[in-house]
């Protein structure tokens, strides 16, 4: 990245420190929702499919099964609406983007937990 782009990224960068997480990890994101003038919190727990982009444009994709239907959210990591991020489980996966998970259901959609 260009030096000046980095300077801009720095100017607007990281207001909070989230725990480290990547593809395969199960996390819970708590974010603010605006309804008219009121604000409330909602959490979304699921598996991280990928982290994408760099600097202030970085986003992550998180997927959960809501009943039978897969639901995915793409969230910018610099979004001011994120209240907090919790890592529930570190998963052991071999690739950085685990889109193959979308096609799997039931027992096949399990991810092994990482042992340290």
Partner 1 sequence: MPGLLGKKIGMTSIFSAEGKNVPCTVIEAGPCVVTQIKTKEKDGYNAVQIAFDDKREKNSTKPMVGHFKKANTAPKRKVAEFRGVFDHLKLGDILNVGEVLKNDRWIDVTGTTKGKGFQGVVKRHGFRGVGDSTHGQHNRLRAPGSLGASSYPSRVFKGMRMAGQMGGDRVKVINIAIVKLIPEKNILIVKGSVPGSNGSYLIINK
Task: Map the footprint of partner 1 across residues 68-87, applying CB under 8 A.
Answer: 76, 78-81
Strand arrangement of the beta sheet that strand 26-35 belongs to: 69-76, 59-66, 38-52, 26-35, 82-89
Contacts of 35 (CB under 8 A, 6+ apart): none
37/66 with CB nearer partner 1 = 37
Given candidates 52, 56, 73, 87, which one binds partner 1 under the rule CB under 8 A? Answer: 56
Q: What is the DSSP letter of 16?
A: S
| CA distances (Å), origin 39, targets 8, 14, 28, 70, 74 | 30, 22, 19, 26, 21
Find the part of the chain contacting partner 1 (CB under 8 A) among 8-16, 62-70, 88-96, 103-111. Answer: 8-16
Q: Does 55 bind partner 1 (CB under 8 A)?
A: yes
Q: How far apart are the first and last CA of the chain?
A: 33
As measured in angstroms, the least distance from the Cβ of 33 to partner 1 is: 11
Task: Map the footprint of partner 1 across residues 11-50, applying CB under 8 A.
Answer: 11-12, 34
Residue numbers at the binding site for partner 1 (CB under 8 A):
2, 4-5, 7-9, 11-12, 34, 55-57, 76, 78-81
């Amino acid at each position: 990245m260009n030096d000046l782009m980095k300077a801009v990224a720095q100017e607007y960068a990281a207001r909070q420190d989230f725990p480290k997480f990547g593809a395969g990890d199960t996390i819970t994101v708590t974010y603010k929702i605006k309804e008219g003038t009121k604000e409330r919190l909602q959490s979304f727990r699921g598996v991280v499919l990928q982290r994408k982009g760099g600097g202030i444009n970085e986003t992550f994709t998180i997927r959960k099964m809501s009943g039978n239907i897969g639901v995915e959210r793409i969230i910018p990591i610099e979004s001011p609406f994120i209240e907090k991020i919790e890592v529930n489980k570190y998963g052991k996966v071999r690739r950085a983007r685990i889109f193959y998970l979308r096609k799997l259901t039931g027992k096949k959609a399990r991810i092994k937990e990482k042992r340290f």
